[in-house]
Amino acid sequence: MLSLSNLPTPACLIDKVKMQNNIARLSTHIGSLGCRIRPHVKTHKSVEITQAIFEGGNASGITVSTLKEAKHFFAHGYKDVLYAVGIVPSKLEDVAQLLNQGCHLTIILDSVDMATRVVDSASAFGCIFPVMIELDTDGHRSGADPQGQEIINIANVLHQSEHTELKGVMTHAGESYNCFSHEEQRTIARQERDLSILAANRIRQQGIECAEVSIGSTPTAFAIDDLTGITEVRAGVYVLFDLVMAGLQVCKNENIAMSVLASVIGHQQHKDWVITDAGWMAMSRDRGTASHPVDQGYGLVCTVEGKVKADFIIADANQEHGILQHRNGSSETAISSFPLASKLRILPNHACSTAAQYDHFFLVENDTVLAELSTISGW
């Protein structure tokens, strides 16, 4: 088997034990509340990692963010798929092809206008489109007001059509990414749950079936304490974690299963800079911790063995160059810690963004490379 010393850099590493522990942690928590997880595979877009999630238990179907993902995972045996990005009629032909091939693919929308457009276009494809209504439960992004008339009107449009089936309601509590304590996250989680149940019940009171109530984000999935009335929880980055999640106290730095292996290619002695071959093309441009109490730059540095070096970050990045610096007040110099031609690891701000930079990952345990994992990209 290969060791880390044999790998070309930059390379994206997945720590097997940490990943399995992360999977088990959420599986156990959500299972204890009598619910199931619909993992969002957009984080890694890897069939092998998805298989590990299902082996970890308590997973029911998958969530995707592109139709390319839906096609790819369906081809590998995953038939129950929620496409969690708002639909437009021009994509219905691809959706119909998947439905006619036996994929149980559900689409989402959040307005009467789009529901009407979908219904008007759906008759051309000879199938019934399963649809969920997207709710806005925290003012963060997309979705219809759970307490407004719009969701009732959408439900009626979908219910009256022969070519659409209302499956239920769904939401994503994105505002939880601005909550830096467990208590704040729990408040958002309960709000997400309660407003979703309210919306579903309002639709049911119209005599329209609304079977599924789907909620989720990684912070709220861990914070929620009661899932009565919820049919599934969606989360994605929990499998790998990242510095944003650590900054929100959802995990610790030591739980982060993804890292980028980099080589030291240069020193700037007068600045105490260490130059690596992992720039923003390797790490992504995501600066998700910039607004956090602790800014991790473009990534937090670890030894090649994976031990966190909390005083060192990738402070700046160009396309193929990362500039490693010590934080202010550190007594240890960067150059003395990271010799020329040595290797190190970098923890990412946002695992989804970093994963998207690679066409494969390396599954590792300690210094040993266990396997090469596949992934996809694009739309």
Flag whether 246 is in a domain. no
Among 186, 206, 240, where does a domain finish?
240
Flag whether 1 is in a domain. no
Flag whether 175 is in a domain. yes
Residues 32 and 131 in one domain: yes
Residues 139 and 262 in one domain: no
Residues 335 and 210 in one domain: no
The single residue listed with the structure tokens 């049919």 is 231
Residues 274 and 327 in one domain: yes
The 10s digit of each residue's pLDDT in 281-316 is 999 999 999 999 999 999 999 999 999 999 999 999
pLDDT higher than 80, residue 345: yes
Domain, as residue range, for 278: 253-374
Q: What DSSP letter does each residue of 275-339 carry, written as one string?
A: EES--HHHH-S--TTTTSSS--BT-EEEETT--EEEEEEEEEE-SS-EEEEEPTT-SS-HHHHS-
This prediction's pTM: 0.97
**17 alpha-carbon distance from chain centroid:** 19
Residues 187 and 289 in one domain: no
Phi first, then psi: give them for residue 244, nearest 5 degrees: -65, -45
User: pLDDT-derived band of residue 89, with 50, 70 and 90 as boundaries?
Assistant: very high
The 10s digit of each residue's pLDDT in 161-208 is 999 999 999 999 999 999 999 999 999 999 999 999 999 999 999 999
Residue type, 21: N
- Cβ neighbours around 336 below 10 Å, total: 9
| Joined tokens for residue 367 | 């210094």
Q: What is the pLDDT of residue 139?
A: 86
Give every CB contact of residue 100 below 8 A, 6+ residues apart in sequence: 126, 127
Residues 125 and 31 in one domain: yes
> What is the average pLDDT across 326-334?
79
Alpha-carbon distance of 241 to 20, in angstroms, equals 12
Residues 62 and 169 in one domain: yes
Upstream peptide bond of 10 is cis (omega within 30 degrees of 0): yes
> What is the average pLDDT across 210-228?
98
| Joined tokens for residue 119 | 């219904």
Q: Which of 20, 2, 355, 35 is nearest to 221 (CA)?
A: 35
How many degrees, rounded to 5, is the angle at CA 129 between CA 123 and CA 130? Answer: 155
Q: How many domains does the chain have?
A: 2
Flag whether 52 is in a domain. yes
CATH code where residue 346 lies: 2.40.37.20
Residues 66 and 190 in one domain: yes
